[in-house]
Structures are given as structure tokens and as C-alpha cells.
Structure 1
Amino acid sequence: MTIEQAAACLGWNRFKLSRIEAGKTRATPADVARILDLYGVDPETHAALVQLARDAGRRGWWTGYSGVFTGGYVALEDEASEIRTYHVQLIPGLLQTEDYARAVISAGIPDDPAEVDKRLQARMARKTLLTRPNAPTLKTVLAEPALRQLVGGKSVMRDQLYELRRIARRPNVTIRVLPYTVGAEAGVDGSFVILGYSDPLDPDIAYSEGIYGHIYLESAEHVARCRVAFDRIWEAALDEDESLKFIADIATEPR
């Protein structure tokens, strides 16, 4: 059985399984049990390895939100040393204020306040990735529509724009803006993320999420195309100082 076949049987992406098997991503006891069941491991070894998983290291913080985070993306993001993102319509989760995040989440599940609260708590926990010791570097390009879309109303959006300027002061965070005037020249109209790792043997992972679910771009060719696209967008965007001024100007516009 190939790793692609095994991942498909488990309902995971190939990257999650390969990193678990290489010891580069922490696996929950449930994950370990599912892998061992698939591979037909004998009961004694099965029990020992599941117990080892229970005893091993710290639990990933995201395991407390198993109903919120699916597909293994957050675990992959948590272990990345570099995150490069491009967003067209919305501010990315790692940069969202609590009120902005609540508005986004509520739009997707308007009739379940308890679930909204749970997902909001999870999203705020995820944001701590950028402020922890040995935090990854984040390079984000925001297309102008993401800055102008009134998510949550005028006050919420204004606070979100000021939050972007505050976060951009962190040494590991760089934010650039792609204005309408150059958006078409960059030639990319969809949001995506590229995760990079400190181990040179770990390949970059490209990821995109939309209304029909999440997509992992697995082949080296596809990931390379995403790198080229990001570099093109990065160079077309305003530089850091111009971008922060652009954000401030939008925040102070009468609406």
C-alpha cells in the first residue's frame, strides 16, 4: 500500500500521514489507532503504541477542538517555520480580531451561538502561533477587497484595520497590500497558503480553502507554481511602509 492509498483510506491528506510516520507531526492516540488498524498491527503491539502516543510529549493545543479543526492543516501550520499567504476577500484567521472573527464565523453558522463561541475560542487560540517563542515568519499579501469588505460593520472593520497595523510591527510578520491598480497584473485571483519548514528535507506544502472544502497541492510542480505566483504577487504589491499607510488611509475614510 502506498502512502497515497493509506492516506485516502484514512481520509487524510498525504502530508499529514507522511509527517506522522516520519515523527515530524505529533499524532493523537486516535490517529495512531487508526493507522495501526489500517496496517493490521497485532493487538499487543497496537495497545503498546497507542499507550505510547498517550504518554508522548505535549498534546497539540488543537486536539481540544477536534470538532472545529479537520484535515490536519492546523497541525501542519503549527510546525511551519515560514508561512506565506495571499488573501483576496477576507483577512486571514491568524490576523483577525475577535469581533471580525465572530462576524465571519457567524455568517457561516448563524443559528448556533454555542458553536460560534467554540469556533471563535479555537481561532483566538490559533492566533497565539505568531507570538510564541520561535514563532514562524509570516508574509501576507492582502488584496484590496479584503480591506474594504465591511465584515461586522464599520466599527469592527476599522478596528481590524488598526489591528493589522499593530501586528505588522512584530519582527516575524510582514504585511503587503495588492491594490486594485495592480491586481490584474499579478495574474492570481484565488487565495492560498504556502507552509515552509526548517528541515530542508521537508517539502513546502501549498493549501487552499474555499466553499467546497480544502485542497492540498501535493506535487512538487504545483507547489513550485504557487511559489512563483506568490513571488509575483509579493513583488507587485506595495512595500511594507506603503502598505501600512494604505491600510491607515482606508481605516480613516468616511463610510
Structure 2
Amino acid sequence: MSRIPTLTFLREQLRRTRQARGLSQEQLGKLINYSSSQVSAVETGERPVPPDYLARVDRVLDTGGLFGTMLELIRFHAAPDWFRPWEENEREAVALRWYDPTVIPGLLQTEGYARAMLGTVGELTAEEVEARVVARLARQAVLAADPRPHLVAVLEEHTLRRQVGDRAVMREQLQHLLAVGTEPNVQVRVVPADTPWHIGLHGPFILARLASGAELAHLDNQLRGQTVDGPNDIAALERRWETVAGEALPRRQSARLIEEVVKTWT
């Protein structure tokens, strides 16, 4: 099944299932704690389908997890072939260390930021952008898994100041970083803009430790990403992580810096 029909089919089934139960958008919204306008926006495609929305619909309408299963299918089709193995590793990880010198890490992106960023990829149609936004938001559920993985994300201050989307998108994104950074399993740390050039600026990378004890890493380039697990590669990336983490401000100081940058996007 292709990406676009899968996403369209999901929306159609949400609407048809609601109508078959004799519920208006307002009535369903009250049952799942969403507004009628939000229900309408999901069904018409004006906004991505939040994973939590599907979980609530499955529970309230007693669908046996139908819509959650459809979301997994969408995730599978939306992800590039080369990324699917890393998604599995991400789900199994007990600890993630993520450095990106250019953008907010995908697990911490808001809907608006993800859409604006993916929209700049000229090879993607609007429907494909929508599917990837849905998939990216769904990936974020890993941060609330049981047990929760520990995530440390190191960003560059320049990333907080580089506009993606409009000013409202940036303000919302930075406010989200502040909110998620208060979770006990998430640390958001920032490398100040006046930090001299360091080796981490060569490119983004993610280090993952699985429950089995295996250590893996993910590297991105302009065309695709790759997973590496060779001991020498992991050791080299560990050293680079120590460098970027050493340059980053501590958690609370990073939050104060983000708070200051939020004000510039008002």
C-alpha cells in the first residue's frame, strides 16, 4: 500500500467510524477531550493526526486498536528505507545521546517546525510531507514508553536563532524545548554561540544504548543516514560526544538561554 492512500484511508476511516457510531464531531471531541475544530482538522487533513488522538479514539470507540495499527502502517511507508532499521533501534534504546549542529532533533520537534523543515525538501509532495510529519510525531511516543529512555540532546545556540517556518513556529518550538526539558528523562543542553569551532560541527550523530547493552550510532548526510556499530566507530563518536557535551551549558543554564532566545521570537 502506498503512502498517500494509507494516510487518506486513515482519515476516511476516522470519519466513517465516528458517523457509524452516530457521533458528531463535537460529541466525539468531548469524549476524547479534543475540540470539535480539532476533530474536523484531523478528518479533513488540515493538521496531522496526533498519535494520542488515535489512542483515545481506539479506547473510546472500542476499536481494538485499529487506528493505532494504521498509524504504524503509515510510519512504515513514510520512512525512507534506510531509516527504518534505526527507528527500531530507537524504540529499543534505554539511552540516547543526540547532537545536531543545525536543526532541532526529530524527537523534540513540534508539528509546525517539522512541517516547515520537511517542506523545504523539494523532492517531497505535500502529501508526502504530511505523512512524514505524522510519522515524526508518532516517533516521539518513545519518550513516554515504559520504561522511559533517557535522552540527552545537545544543540547549538545558532539552531535556536535560525528561523524555520514563521516566528510563531519558532516561539512554539522553543517553548516546547523548555517544557520537554523538565521531564526527568530528558535533558536539553545548548552550546553557546560564542563557543569556538569544535569537532562536533562536522555533523550530527546519535548514540544509542539498547537494553541488551549493545552500542549503536546513527549518522546523517545530504542523501541518507547510516547506522554504525563497529567498536572503533563507536569509540570515536564517544570522544566527539564528550567534546560537544563539554562545550554545552548545564541543563538549567541551557534553559535560561532558551528562555532568552524565546523572547526574540515574540
Judge same fold: TM > 0.5, yes or no. yes
1:61 to partner: Cα distance: 6.5
How many equivalent residue pairs? Answer: 195
1:228 to partner: Cα distance: 1.3
Q: Structure 1's 90 and 229: CA in aligned 2 closer, same or farther, altered over 3 A?
A: same
Could you say which residue in structure 2 is the equivalent of 1:194?
207
Deviation digits for residues 208-235 of structure 1, max 9, x if unmatched? 1121211223320111111111122112
Give aligned-pair identity as a percent.
28
**Is it true that 1:123 corresponds to 2:123 in the alignment?**
no
Q: Structure 1's 134 and 61: CA in aligned 2 closer, same or farther, altered over 3 A?
A: farther
Q: Structure 1's 117 and 60: CA in aligned 2 closer, same or farther, altered over 3 A?
A: closer
Could you say which residue in structure 2 is the equivalent of 1:67?
77
Could you say which residue in structure 2 is the equivalent of 1:142?
155
Could you say which residue in structure 1 is the equivalent of 2:105?
92
Write the letter of the residue equivalent to 2:131.
Answer: K
Q: Give the gaps of 5 or more residues in structure 1.
A: 1-57
Runs (4+) of structure 1 exceeding 4 A deviation are 58-63
Q: What is the Cα-based RMSD across aligned positions, in Å?
A: 2.1
Cα distance in 2, alignment partners of residues 234 and 63 from structure 1: 36
Write the letter of the residue equivalent to 1:68.
Answer: A
TM-score by length of 2: 0.68
Q: 208, 211, 219: which is aligned to 2:230?
A: 219
SS of the equivalent of 1:193 reads strand
Could you say which residue in structure 2 is the equivalent of 1:11?
none
Residues 1-255 of structure 1: matches in 2 within 5 Å? Answer: 62-69=72-79, 70-71=81-82, 72-109=85-122, 112-184=125-197, 186-189=198-201, 190-200=203-213, 202=214, 204-253=215-264
Q: Structure 1's 109 and 135: CA in aligned 2 closer, same or farther, altered over 3 A?
A: farther
Write the letter of the residue equivalent to 2:227.
Answer: Y
Cα distance in 1, alignment partners of residues 205 and 89 from structure 2: 15
TM-score by length of 1: 0.71
Write the letter of the residue equivalent to 2:225.
Answer: H
